[in-house]
Structure 1
């Protein structure tokens, strides 16, 4: 577990911003991944919210080996097995009940379990997790929650996701206990429906620049 937790910390820190994508076709998956990569974001979370998700994950791992892909919205052991079989580099959950936490602890790839309260994070910490997703971040206090967690859970690091935008990304990244932020602001639904992947690429490039500036200021 410690080695996998270190790998999880390293990949989140390297990513800085984790685009959270949901795809409906393989072509859409290719186009979005390419736009994000061209914009400078080489790590993404592909949610398991559509029937095509696992196929898209496997396809991207075959065709775009330079992209690090996490399977998101992992809800149960079946999702874990399917994601690992498809080649996922890591796993992300929106929340982590005890049974799922046990299954994640047994997984042989890095995992980022999600939670929303101090009690949940303490339960994950008891199982050896030190790098977690705060979700839905803004709804449960956002920056104030992260600052509040920093004292009692001083050895834990977070990837807040939910309600983060280009406007507040830098402020979240400035928090010492934040490894990475998750978001979908660079994946506007209207742009995708219009096939305007240039807008995705441009917004991804600005997100990558925010990460670079935040790191320079730390």
Structure 2
């Protein structure tokens, strides 16, 4: 996968059933260029879910793996069809090299300027700033003042209410988890309701450039 094809928003699917994940991807019809989805590896049957979702939607939706923590996780996620890999912490050089060899985007996490710099120097495609809400939107602006414009993704506490603040302060990408959808829409597999939440997010950041 090429970084220029990576959507601005990533929906983080943690603890979802296959039916719930399927309802989310159905709801993305027409919004495939706006959203990617990642299934966290600490979700029950995650690798099989990634494989099934990729077989069903992989031609039109970018599907990746989250909570990637080891070289073995990288290998298994790629084998399942993941196009990108998000982690909760920095990646080892071996993890980054393996992702690059397989042309899969590597998105390790960092929380300090030094970690961010280290990950890009080691070959990360995007760095996930986590937990973003603890650091605040201003962190993205302040850290890029000395380091220059960087492809940073805010994850952790991102919602429809604060997404615009993070983007206007220099975040290039955002990952949204439990705050993205109404709980009832997920429980009822309501794709129309899920699609409405996606549209609300897009409306909330309308006019904000990257």
| Alignment TM-score, normalising by the size of structure 1 | 0.83
Q: Which residue of 2 aligns with 1:63?
A: 56
Stretch moving more, 46-55 or 76-85: 46-55
Contact 1:130–1:155 under 8 Å retained in 2:
no
Q: Which residue of 2 aligns with 1:133?
A: 128
Deviation at residue 110 of structure 1 after TM alignment: 1.3
CA distance in 1: counterparts of 2:25 and 2:155, whole angstroms? 19
CA distance in 2: counterparts of 1:89 and 1:205, whole angstroms? 24
Among 137, 141, 146, the alignment partner of 1:147 is: 141
Q: Judging by fraction of residues, say which structure has more helix.
A: 1
Deviation at residue 80 of structure 1 after TM alignment: 0.6
Among 85, 99, 112, the alignment partner of 1:117 is: 112
Q: Which has the higher contact order (CA 8 A, sep 6+)?
A: 1
1:37–1:142 CA distance, 2 compared to 1 (3 A): farther
| Alignment TM-score, normalising by the size of structure 2 | 0.86
CA distance in 2: counterparts of 1:44 and 1:201, whole angstroms? 14
Q: Which residue of 2 aligns with 1:33?
A: 25
Contact 1:57–1:87 under 8 Å retained in 2:
yes
Coordinate RMSD, CA, aligned: 2.2
Residue 161 (structure 1) aligned with residue 155 (structure 2): yes
CA distance in 2: counterparts of 1:159 and 1:33, whole angstroms? 21
SS at match of 2:12: strand
Stretch moving more, 39-48 or 158-167: 39-48
Stretch moving more, 37-46 or 52-61: 37-46
Structure 1: where are the runs of 5+ without partners?
none
SS at match of 1:111: strand
Residue 182 (structure 1) aligned with residue 144 (structure 2): no
CA distance in 2: counterparts of 1:23 and 1:31, whole angstroms? 14
CA distance in 1: counterparts of 2:183 and 2:73, whole angstroms? 25
Structure 2: where are the runs of 5+ without partners?
none
Q: Which residue of 1 aligns with 2:47?
A: 54
Deviation at residue 50 of structure 1 after TM alignment: 1.4
Stretch moving more, 19-28 or 145-154: 19-28
